[in-house]
Every structure is written in C-alpha cells, then in structure tokens.
Chains A and B, each alone.
Chain A
Amino acid sequence: MKKTKWSLVALLLSVLLVLAACSGGDEEPTTEEPEETSTEDTTDGEPAGEDSGSLFEVAVTNEGEAIEGGTLQVAMVKDEPFQGIFNWELYEDGYDADLMEWMTNSLFEVDENFMITDEGIATLEVDQENNKATVKIREDVKWSDGEPLTIEDVILPYHIIGHKDYTGVRYDTAFQNIIGAEEYHAGTAETISGLKQIDDYTLEISFKQLSPSIFYGGDGLWTYAAPAHQIADIPVGELVESDAVRKNPVSLGAFKIDKIVPGESVSFVKNENYWKGVPKLDGVVVKVVPSSSISVAIESGDYDIVQSFNATKMPEIENLENISILGRPELYYSYLGFKLGKFDTVENKVVTDMEGSKMGNQQLRQAMGYALDIEQVSEVFYNNLRERANSLIPPVFEAFYDEELAGYTYDPEKAMALLDEAGYEDVDGDGFREDPNGEPLEIKLASMSSDATQEEIIAFYLQNWADVGLNVTLTTGRLIEFNAFYDMVEADDPEIDIYMGAWGTGTNPSPSGLYGEADPFNYSRYTSEELETTVRAIDSPEAFDTEYRADQFKAFQQHIEEVANIIPMQFRYEIMPVNKRVKNFSFDYADEYTSHLHELELVAEEPVAN
C-alpha cells in the first residue's frame, strides 16, 4: 500500500525511534512518538514549543458542561493491524506504544526540558561522584488489579531486558552501562549486580559511568515498571507470546484493557485504582483506521482524537468545523547527507576522505544546500507544517538550539556563485557543470520512498539542482524503499554520493551515536578532531553543568553548519485533530493529555459531525 508503515515512518523511521523512545540511551534520549514523550513531561512551564503556539492551538478550550462518564473514541491512523505487544520492555512498534499510553507503566514524569521530575510515581536521585542513581517509588500506588506496586516491579524490567533469551533491541550499549548487566546477559550471573534493593520502595543502581543523559532517562536507567506478580514467573523467552502481554496486561495507568480485537481495536475501561484518582471517563476505544479513509471518518464525526495523523493530509481536514486541530513541533529533523568517507568495519571507526570523495568540496556541498527550495515544498505540500531547518537540534530544545544559525536558505544565486568560485563550470555547454578538472559531474542521490508526494518533492529537488547546473540523478533510478535504503546507506554503497534521511532526536538531542567517530550511524562518514571533541563533551561528566553542555551543543551545530557534511532540511510539526466534544485536552509538551488522562472529559454523548 502506498501508505503502509513507511509513509508514516517514511522519513521518520518511526519504528526505530519509538523503540528508542523507551529504551533511553546513554547517547541519545529517546522517543520519537509525541505521546510517548509527553507521558513523561508534566509540569507546566514554557517548553520549547512556542512557535507551535503561533501556528496552532496546543490545547482545546472547551467550556461546555461535561457529561457523566462517556467513552472516548480514538482513531489510530495505520494501514495494517497493530502488533499488540503490550509490554514496555518487549514492544517494537510505535503504535503499540501509542496504545499503551492509555495504561502506561511509566515511573517518571518529565518537565518542559524533558528532564525527570519528582511528580511521577518514582523519584530519581543521582550521585554523580559514585556513578549511582537511586529510584524511590511512592508507597500507595496500586496496579489495575489492586495489587500494590513494589520495588520488585521496578527491578524486573532490568532482568527481562538483560536476559539472554530477550530478543528485543533494548539490550544496548546504554543498558550495558549498568554494572553487572553484561555478566547477567552472558548467563554468568544470576542477577544484575548493579541493582541493589535498599528497601521495599527504593532501588539503587550502579553505573559504569554517568552523563547528563541520566536525567532524561538515559544511561541505562529504565523508566517503566513491570507487573512482577503477573509476569515474573513466565520465562523471558515465552513472555512475548503470553496472555499477560497480549491479552490482559495489568497497568499503572488511568485505564486498563477491557477487550482486544487483535490488530484492529482495543477497548479500555477506567482504572479504579489509578494513583492520581479515578478517571472521569468510563473508557476509551482505540481503533485502527486506514490512512485513505481517515479524513472522511473525521468529518463524519466518528472519532474524538486521531493519533498519527499525517501532515500531508492537512488540506483534507483544515476546513472542518467539528474539530480543533492541535499542533506542536516534533522532535525531529530531516537532512541532506554527503558521503565523505567510509566506515572501517575492522577498526569500527569512521574514516573520512575529503580529497577522495566526489562531495569533498565544501563549497559544492554548501551550494547544494542553497540550491534547494525547501521553503516552497514546505508551503505547498505541508501547509507549513514543515519548515526549513537550520540546525541539527530542533528548536524545541530551547536550551541547546542555536537560533543564530543562518542555515542554508534558498538562494540559487549564491549557490551558483559558490560553484563558480569552486571551479565547477559548464565547459561542454550541456547545461550541467563539470567538476574543476573538467570531468562530467553526476551526483547520485539516494532517497527513501514514501507516498506519491515524496516522488514529486524529490523530482522538484532534482530540478532545483539542475537549475544551478548540477546533474543529480537517483541511485537505482527510483526512490528506494525504506529497508533497502538503510542497507545501502549503511554499507557505503558506491552508487550513493548524497542521501536524504531523517532522525527523530528523542527527548535528549545529544549527537553521540550519530556523529561520533565510532558510530556506524554516522552515515556521512565525516569526523574530525574538533567534532569528536564536541560530541564527547556533550555527554561528559562536565556536562552536568547545563551551561557547559549548552555551549558544546552550540559548538556542535556551528561546526556542522560550517563543514556542511550534513545540511539540515526540515523541522516539522505534528498535528492532532480533536473533536469539539473533548474537554481538558492538551497537546503541549509541557502539559500533555497523557499525563492528565484521568481528567479528560466529554461534553456530548457522541462526537460532533461536520
């Protein structure tokens, strides 16, 4: 289907990112899925999303009289059934995470900077000197089946993820940062030695090394609880197929699962034991709705809120009267990358070769950035739900984002001037520039396929480049499907000179993992002493000093802008259509609905139709 998973994911790699979301990394924060993020952030405050305010409402203002109870109808835009793994340690698909938000087991809540606060079920104390963290849970919290939450439930997830039979990806370098995790994974230890139960409500975790990431739920810290009384006795290898994960998971959230039609819909009922208080709604029904029909469904008032609504469908709903369209910036950037070297798989490090690369000329790269009319694409195709990016740090991260960066805005004159200066001139008169040696220059672009719009956009970019005299063609002659794209980019396929990708930054936008010397995901294969120093500094112990960290972030952004091994292309907004009957609903990172699920209300018996 044109809009199977990857149309959503398309540039976004939602799967991966979402995954990441929960795992938290020592290098990188996590989530990509908005709901996800927000779970953790609660407190009021001014998060970064000011700009969103200008374009969209972030919350509904509904003064109507609320009805008693009621069921919230939720649409999840998806062209295939959901997977239905309802366990934070095991799930892999972001859609499962979306579903689990209604019954989340999250221990922490986060503030406007996505840092862990004391508002959640648990609190976090960090002992930087000794590389230790202490997690303390509230005493009066109960699972949805009435069992009390214990420290066992906090320890269990570590033993699931670290287990040798665990098949997920959350056993990663961050997790190995916990002392004893590797021994446990290898089977040489019964438990993870770095986990120490202090009392019934307190857990002390010892790490090999700590960085500021710990405050974002990174460095190996796990931010969810698992119901030990329900799943502790199930062997880890069989967990993913067990009913406790598939059919009747208990939860700490505002709602609990009532019924599931596999792959299609889930109905939740309110959790009488919710620690923040009994929810006002009776329940929530989430249904999978194909992307082709979602707009009509919204119009006919079938749903109260719509998750994963693709911004390209904005024109289909923007004039509807029965909904409010909420929006906020996404933790995301897309970019144009230039291949400047190879990855040495033996030494496991990036080997930059500026001289030997077709794209080695800095002015050429810059010119390619200036030549792209991204502004027009954003306007025409995305209704400005995407905008020209000037940095690799989304502006949401106010503290780290360098708003002074000029970025590569559309300026074909400048592009041509740069090319002329660098010696790229059209010697043979075919309309395309040759390289400084007079050899024909054909630049091969790899780009991911998604929906039909993507084809037009890429064709448009190719035209932009042609307009400044650069002959850019598509690797393999067509857009490359998601899986193949990453295969080729990662393998440094010689057919790829430049590529267009995207990353979800998660809540911790640290560049390590993506731009470090030893990172296989450093696809442009560029590294330098300066860059490496900066990248390391961002996650160094010194960076516990926020100002220092912010300076390093800015240094990183400036360095990338100057070198132009990566040219940021777009930031984007995510939108959520919300029916007019919904009350107390906010999409703001600082005050998101997922942390106020128990306060959601409805003002009419049925969703309003247009």
Chain B
Amino acid sequence: MWKTIVRRFLIMIPQLFVLSVIIFVLAKFMPGDPFTGLISPQTDPARIAELTEKAGLNDPWHIQYMRWIGNAFQGDLGLSYTYKRDVADLIGERALNTFWLSLLSVFILYLIAIPLGILAGRYQNSRLDKTIVLYSFVTYAIPTFVLGLIFLFLFGYKLEWFPTSGSVDIKYEAGTLRYYWDKFYHILLPSFTYAVLGTTGIIQYLRSEIIDAKTMDYVRTARSKGIPMRKVYSKHIFRNSLLPIAAFLGFTITGLLGGSIFVETIFGYPGMGQLFVSSISSRDYSVITALVMLFGFLALLGSLLSDIIMSIVDPRIRIE
C-alpha cells in the first residue's frame, strides 16, 4: 500500500510537469502582459520596457520556464505582479478560505444528498422518488450563478439572514470565538448554495446503487430469513451503498474546488477561484500558473485519496 502511494506520487511528477509546460506556454500566449495595465500618459514607455526586461518577460519562453520551474523547486513561486506579494503567501491566504468553504460545502452536500438518494432508491418510482429525481435534474440544470444570485438577494439582502460578502467582519478580534463563528457564518450561505447544486451526482449514484442492491442475492437471503425490510436496509443495503460515496470524497472535494470560481465570485469571497479570475484579467502569470498547478496537484491528490479510501472500505479493491 505505501509502495503504491509512493508510486502514485511519482506518477504525478510527469503529469504535473506536462501541466506546468502547458499552462506556462498558454499564459505566455495571452495577449498583453502584467505591465500593459500600467500605461498612462505619464508613464515612460522606456520604464515599462525596463520593468518588462527586469521581470525577464523578454526572454524566450523556455528560458523563462526553466527559471520558473527552477525557482518553484526551491519553493519560490515568484512574485504576483498585481499584488506585489509572494505568490505562495498570497495563495496560502486564499487557499485557507477556499478550503473551509469546500469543506463545509462537502458536509452540507452529504447532509442533503445522502438522505435524498437513499429515499429515492428505497421508494423507487414512488412519488417521493420522482420528486427527488426531478429536484436533482433541476439543480443540475440551473446555472450555479443564477441560484447563487437568487439566494444572495433573498437570504442576504431581503431577509438579511446572512452576510453578503467577504470572509469575516472586521469588527471581531482575530482568534476569538466570535471571530471564528463569524467566519463560519460567512461561508454558510455560499456553501449551502454550492451544496444544493452539487447533489445530483450523489443522489443519482446512491439511488441506482440501492435499486441494484435490492436485487442482490445477499438482500434476498436476508429477506428470506425473515429479517424486516427496515433492518435489511439499515444493516445491509445502506452500508454497502454508502461506502463508495465515502470513497468519492476525494473527487468531490476537487470537483468543488473547480466550482469555487463561481461561488466565490458571486459571494465576493476571497478564495482561490476568485483570485484566478482576477489574475486572468490582470495577466498575473505567476499567480495563474501557480493556481493551475495547485489545482492540478489537489485533483491528483483527491483521486489518490479516493483510491485509498476505496481500498480501505472495499476489500475487493486493492491498489496493487
């Protein structure tokens, strides 16, 4: 098992390498550069040229790439052109925000999806099932931002139940309980929005898993032994059906990371997704590349995590 994990990590290296080359080259192909935004009648074009040269942006891309990857290996992801800060610091700050948001989203997501999936599967083709299936289709079809905006205006502004932007109110002292509660309070609505929209996959999966399980021999055996259906569900079917869901955890998290772009933008939440969109417009190469690499790495990590959980919960699968 450890050997496999180490090997999976080794396989990541070429993947990340290819990704780094692709994103680096693409980023360079984007029209404009971080200094295009600095022009004004007062700026001296010579100064811009000097800055561009100093930043090494005039070198051929492979030279720039080698320099970048070399530094990256030493843990130096460069300086954000926009924020004039160390990229690692900048992302670190945002990553934590995105992390909490994703974590709460996953939690709420499971909280909603699992009961619904189980009910739909158990009472297959009932009115309840049909309603749940309809719900899952509808949430799948609604664009994230439409629901996000509606929630924001309804719960945030009209009802004033939730804060409407940011990650924490400035009036609370960092470190106090009130402060953490406020942070939690800020991510509640975005997480909920996100969770509501992300349930489709899990509901559908659980539903068909349970429908399948009903026809399985072990369930029939249990039934024929006279065990009440309720017990069969709680003792056999749910457990077997839920395990794969647990195993999807890794994938779910990485999926949520991708969607964070929308949620963070709508709710003005300073996370990585929002940082990415703004970096695109400001041509902040170092941030763009670092973020794509980070997301790529997290996705790989997520799939590894899923595989590991899967092999733990399901003895039939051994990652060897």
Binding site for B on A (CB under 8 A): 1, 4-6, 13, 15-17, 19-20, 23-25, 27-28, 30, 32, 79-81, 83-85, 90, 92-93, 167, 169, 171-174, 176, 240-241, 259-267, 285, 287-290, 292-293, 296-297, 299-300, 481-484, 486-488, 490, 503-504, 506, 513-514, 520-521
Interchain CB contact under 8 A, A293 and B283: no
Q: Interface on chain A toward B: helix, strand, loop, or mixed SS? A: loop
Q: Residues of B contacting A488 with CB < 8 Å?
A: 31
Distance in angstroms from A205 CB to nearest chain B CB is 18
Given A32-B40, A261-B168, A483-B33, 7 extra CB contacts under 8 A: A81-B274, A169-B43, A287-B166, A289-B164, A293-B152, A297-B157, A484-B31
Interchain CB contact under 8 A, A264 and B167: yes
**B39 contacts the other chain (Cβ, under 8 Å)?**
yes
Spot the interface stretch: B77-85, B133-141, B224-232.
B77-85
Cα distance, A482 to B280, chains bound together (Å): 11
Task: Write the B241-284 contact mask toward A (1 if CB under 8 angstroms, else 0).
Answer: 00000000000000000000000011110100011011001110
**B170 contacts the other chain (Cβ, under 8 Å)?**
yes
Q: Assess A288 versus B166: contact at CB under 8 Å? Given A5-B282, A487-B31, A488-B31.
A: yes
Q: Residues of B contacting A481 with CB < 8 Å?
A: 31-32, 281
Interchain CB contact under 8 A, A30 and B282: no
Q: Assess A241 versus B86: contact at CB under 8 Å? Given A28-B41, A487-B36.
A: yes
Cα distance, A30 to B41, chains bound together (Å): 9
Interchain CB contact under 8 A, B32 and A486: yes
Q: Assess A1 versus B270: contact at CB under 8 Å? Given A292-B149, A293-B165.
A: no
Distance in angstroms from B270 CB to nearest chain A CB is 5
Question: How many residues does chain B have at the interface if contact means C-beta atoms less than 8 Å apart?
Answer: 51
Q: Residues of A contacting B281 with CB < 8 Å?
A: 4-6, 481-483
Interchain CB contact under 8 A, A19 and B165: no
Which 6 A-B pairs rank lowest in CB-CB distance, beginning with the nearest?
A: A483-B32, A25-B42, A484-B31, A16-B40, A513-B41, A80-B278
Cα distance, A6 to B167, chains bound together (Å): 24
The interface centre, meaning the residue of A6, A25, A290 with most chain B CB atoms within 10 A of its CB, is A290
Q: Sample 18 A-B pairs with CB under 8 A, ordered by A number.
A: A16-B38, A16-B39, A17-B40, A27-B42, A80-B274, A83-B82, A85-B83, A92-B84, A260-B170, A261-B167, A263-B93, A264-B170, A267-B171, A289-B165, A293-B268, A296-B164, A482-B37, A513-B41
Cα distance, A470 to B267, chains bound together (Å): 44
Q: Assess A20 versus B166: contact at CB under 8 Å? Given A171-B47, A241-B85, A487-B32.
A: no
Distance in angstroms from B201 CB to nearest chain A CB is 26
Interchain CB contact under 8 A, A174 and B42: yes
**B218 contacts the other chain (Cβ, under 8 Å)?**
no
Interchain CB contact under 8 A, A486 and B36: yes
Q: Residues of A contacting B32 with CB < 8 Å?
A: 481-484, 486-487
Cα distance, A520 to B41, chains bound together (Å): 9
Distance in angstroms from A285 CB to nearest chain B CB is 6
Q: Residues of A contacting B166 with CB < 8 Å?
A: 261, 264-265, 287-288
Q: Assess A16 versus B37: contact at CB under 8 Å? Given A172-B43, A288-B166, A292-B149.
A: yes
Distance in angstroms from B4 CB to nearest chain A CB is 40
**B160 contacts the other chain (Cβ, under 8 Å)?**
yes
Distance in angstroms from B169 CB to nearest chain A CB is 8
Distance in angstroms from B204 CB to nearest chain A CB is 31
Q: Assess A20 versus B268: contact at CB under 8 Å? Given A5-B282, A261-B167, A300-B160.
A: no
> Which of A90, A174, A288, A504 touches B84 (beta carbons < 8 Å)?
A90
Q: Residues of B contacting A503 with CB < 8 Å?
A: 41
> Which of B83, B85, B157, B169 touches A300 (beta carbons < 8 Å)?
B157
Q: Residues of A contacting B152 with CB < 8 Å?
A: 293
Q: Assess A292 versus B278: contact at CB under 8 Å? Given A287-B165, A513-B41.
A: no
Distance in angstroms from A579 CB to nearest chain B CB is 16
Look across to chain A and name the residue whose beta carbon is closest to the beta carbon of B168: A261
Interchain CB contact under 8 A, A172 and B84: no
**B48 contacts the other chain (Cβ, under 8 Å)?**
yes
Distance in angstroms from B154 CB to nearest chain A CB is 11
Interchain CB contact under 8 A, A92 and B38: yes
Interchain CB contact under 8 A, B42 and A513: yes
Q: Residues of A contacting B40 with CB < 8 Å?
A: 13, 16-17, 19-20, 28, 32, 504
Interchain CB contact under 8 A, B265 and A79: yes
Q: Residues of A contacting B153 with CB < 8 Å?
A: 293, 296
Distance in angstroms from A296 CB to nearest chain B CB is 4
Interchain CB contact under 8 A, B84 and A297: no
Look across to chain B and name the residue whose beta carbon is closest to the beta carbon of A488: B31
Look across to chain A and name the residue whose beta carbon is closest to the beta carbon of B166: A264
Q: Residues of A contacting B44 with CB < 8 Å?
A: 169, 171-173, 176
Q: Residues of A contacting B51 with CB < 8 Å?
A: 167, 169
Cα distance, A568 to B164, chains bound together (Å): 40
Interchain CB contact under 8 A, B165 and A5: no
Using a CB-CB cutoff of 8 Å, which residues 172-221 of chain B contact chain A? none
Interchain CB contact under 8 A, A297 and B38: no
Interchain CB contact under 8 A, A5 and B278: yes
Cα distance, A180 to B160, chains bound together (Å): 59
